């Protein structure tokens, strides 16, 4: 796999898997606006690329991501932004990134070492399956810095761990280890440092060989159901069933069941 590094984000594709690598080790992989734009653009392309089966997010160094790079945006050597700059820009930058991770109809796997703070934490929580090392640390530092949470924190965290723990994380700024994050239900699972690459590889292989259309529709239905009634959720399920039952993978799944063999899905 050949990775192309632009704005501190390396992107590569191999065997239907899109790899997005945060590669700004000098900033502990904090993301400045060009880096966020690069990820957003990559995910937008992935959403309509029929050759892809899985998206993987990881870092090239010891920390996953320490959040948005506020230093890059507040150097003081340029003109002062107009009033409302944050309100205008954030929906197109950090918020758009989180929205795409949740909405893209591909499974997203996130591998976390070291710190996942602020925007980095939200990326990990928005992924479908985050595997972290036991020694990693998840942190929502917003209140400690004197401003309120963004990048979907107030939507993601309560849904994953409940209101009481959400207040502990977002209002008290409690840091949690990878093991605690898994125990709380913030992330998929934790492993030792030496096991991370192998665990992520096995999970990605499982997802890459699954029925991609049905997988994407299931992801979409789960997220839609969080804010809908039971009848609305079942209507969405019926629509998803109609679409997935027209896929080639559905036919392969039936054939494999009849022939008493494992299915060979091609993501179509």
**Per-residue model confidence as pLDDT tens digits over 190-223:** 999 999 999 999 999 999 999 999 999 999 999 9
pLDDT of residue 77: 60
Global pTM value: 0.90
What's the rounded mean pLDDT across residues 156-160? 95
- Stretch 80-108: mean pLDDT: 79
- Tens digits of residue pLDDT in 32-71: 999 999 999 999 999 999 999 999 999 999 999 999 876 5
Terminal Cα-to-Cα distance of the chain (whole angstroms)? 23
CA 217 → CA 107, 211, 238, 251, 254, distances in Å?
A: 10, 10, 11, 17, 18
- 90 confidence band (pLDDT: 50, 70, 90): low
CATH code for the structural domain at 4-208:
3.90.226.10
Q: Residue 102 has what pLDDT?
A: 96
pLDDT for 147 equals: 83
Q: What is the pLDDT of residue 88?
A: 61
Percentage of the chain lying above the pLDDT 70 cut: 91
The two beta strands, 9-14 and 17-22, are antiparallel
Lowest mean pLDDT among 59-68, 90-99, 196-205, 230-239: 90-99
Burial of 19 (0-12, 13-18, 19+ CB in 10 A): middle
- What residues does each domain of the chain span? 4-208, 212-258
């Amino acid at each position: 796999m050949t990775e192309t590094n632009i704005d501190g984000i390396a992107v590569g594709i191999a065997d239907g898997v899109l790899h997005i690598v945060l590669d700004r080790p000098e900033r502990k992989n904090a993301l400045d606006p060009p880096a966020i734009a690069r990820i957003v653009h990559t995910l937008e392309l992935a959403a309509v690329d029929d050759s892809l089966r899985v998206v993987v997010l990881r870092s090239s160094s010891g920390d996953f991501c320490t959040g948005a790079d506020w230093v890059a945006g507040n150097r003081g050597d340029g003109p002062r932004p107009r009033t409302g700059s944050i309100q205008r820009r954030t929906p197109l930058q950090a918020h758009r990134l989180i929205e795409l991770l949740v909405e893209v109809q591909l499974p997203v796997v996130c591998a976390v070492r070291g710190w996942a703070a602020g925007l980095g934490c939200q990326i990990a929580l928005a992924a479908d399956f985050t595997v972290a090392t036991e020694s990693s640390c998840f942190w929502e530092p917003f209140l400690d810095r004197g401003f309120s949470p963004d990048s979907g924190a107030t939507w993601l965290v309560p849904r994953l761990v409940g209101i009481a723990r959400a207040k502990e994380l977002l209002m008290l700024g409690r840091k949690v280890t990878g093991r605690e994050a898994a125990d709380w239900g913030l992330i998929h699972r934790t492993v030792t440092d030496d096991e991370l690459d192998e665990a992520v590889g096995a999970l990605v292989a499982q997802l890459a060989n699954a029925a991609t259309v049905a997988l994407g529709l299931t992801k979409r239905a789960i997220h839609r159901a969080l804010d809908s009634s039971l009848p609305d959720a079942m209507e969405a399920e019926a629509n998803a069933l109609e679409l997935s039952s027209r896929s080639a993978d559905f036919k392969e799944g039936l054939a494999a069941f009849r022939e008493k063999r494992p299915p060979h899905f091609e993501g179509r």
